[in-house]
Structures are given as structure tokens and as C-alpha cells.
Chain A
Amino acid sequence: MKNDNNMKIFVLDEEIYSKEAIALAAYVYADKAEIEYKRKKGKIEIKFESDESSDESIADDFVNEILNQQCRIDLTKKNSRVSTIIVTKALLSAAGEHTVRG
């Protein structure tokens, strides 16, 4: 990780951390940091600038958050059908669209 006052530049493997995961994590950190990312030869280069702290921990927290989002994406690939069925049922029942058990 390169450091330049509050700006950090780091590179992640796109095979391990998808662009989608990085985008979701960047959204979570939108209030805490300015984040830019771009593809660079099979890697993703991330520029992370935060006023909150000059030490590395907030950028490291951000990488943990990318992993959080990535694991959610991994799970969605395996389990989206059951997940969707349950949520759909819950919302439809609440809206009275199906017969309700007493």
C-alpha cells in the first residue's frame, strides 16, 4: 500500500475481489472516504483518501469490507433461489396477497 499523506493506493487481485464487491464497499464507505478504482492488467487499483485518519487502519477496514461484500456475492450465487422465495413470501403475505393462516 502506497501512502501519500491521507491518500493510499493499493492493488487487489480482480480474481479474488470482484469489481462489484469493491463498488458495494465503496458505497458503504462513501461518507468516510473518497474512493476511486480502475482495472489495471488483471488487477484493480484503488485510490483511497480519507480525512478520518492518517494511519492505515481505515483503509484496511475498507479491504475487510470488500471481503464482506464479496462473501455476500459468493453466497448469492449459491443460494439466490431459496433466498428470493422466502423474501417474496414474506412481502406478499404482509400485503395480503395470499391466504393467511390464522
Chain B
Amino acid sequence: MKHSKDEILLKSDLRKYSLDDIRYAAYSVTDEAHVELKKSNLKTIEISFKRKGKVSLKNTVKRFTDELKNEKIRADIFKNNAELREHLILKALSSEEKPQPQTDDAGLTPEQEKELDELISQVEEEIKKESSGRKNADPLGINQTWEEKNAGKRKKSKK
């Protein structure tokens, strides 16, 4: 490891850390340093850290080496869990809402049941009216612009 106050050169072994890991660890300290990576030989990456502002470059390089160790572990864990993670997120995004469990006092009174039945038939009636004779109905009107909706309406003259 070569170093001066303003620049430190470090070598990283590609047999120990993948290129992705090294790139990410270098990226993570770009708040404090200008970082450049070069391939030194087949097995080694040379990383140059040039400090930004008044930071301690030694501390920056320490952050880099800590992050590199962490990234290796994280990458391993992620690789091991990638499929499972994808499965669980897909499951979460596509699962139906679970019905709420019934509690003891959840039953409706006869009046409430009657009101609910009336409301249901009202809604069913409205749906029938809206969709009768119209293919590709757009009940919320979300495909229609204001201009399309109001085309042909006469503008009121301003006084």
C-alpha cells in the first residue's frame, strides 16, 4: 500500500474478493474520496484513493476495507437467498386479501341484514345500468380527457 497525505494506493486480491464487491466498496466511500480502479494483473485490482476536502484518507481506506468485508458477506447471503426472496415478494404482491376473522358479536341484526341486502341490490342495479349495451366500459372515466368529455358543449360567454 503506497500512500501520501492526498493519495493512497491499495491492492485488492480478486481471488479473495469479486470485482463486484471491490467496485461497490470503492463506490461506498466516494463521498470522501475520488476513487479509481485499475487492473494491476490477472489477480489484482489496484485502487487509488484521492481525498476530497479535509478528510483523513486513512479513515476512508479503513471504511473501504471494512465495507469490502461486509460486502463479501452480504453478497454471499443475497446469492443464497435470491430465489426465496423473489418468491416471497411475488407471493406478497399476488396474494388475495385474507378475510377478517369473525368475532362473537360480528353477526348482523335483522334490520342491518335488510339494509345490507337493499344496498347490494341497489349497487347491482347501478352496475347493470352502467354496463348495459356498452363494451369496454370505462366506469371511472380514467381513459377520457376533460376535453373529450366536454367536447361539443357550448362555452358560456364571459361578461
Q: Name A's B-contacting residues (CB within 8 A).
A: 12-13, 15-17, 57, 60-61, 63-64, 67-68, 70-71, 74, 78-79, 81-82, 85-86, 89, 95-96, 101
Contacts and interface: CB of A to CB of B under 8 A. Distances in A.
B86 interface: yes
Contact of A89 (B36, B38, B93): B93
Contacts, number: 59
B39 interface: yes
Contacts of B86: 81-82, 85
A64 B30 contact: yes
Interface of B: 19-20, 23-24, 26-27, 30, 34-39, 45, 50, 52, 78, 82, 85-86, 89-90, 93, 97, 140, 142
Contact of A68 (B30, B89, B142): B30
A81 B38 CA distance: 31
A67 B39 contact: no
Given A13-B38, A60-B34, A74 B24 contact: yes
B87 to A, nearest CB: 10
Contacts of A57: 34, 52
Given A64-B34, A71-B27, A78-B78, 9 more contacts: A13-B37, A13-B38, A15-B19, A67-B30, A68-B27, A68-B30, A71-B24, A89-B93, A101-B97
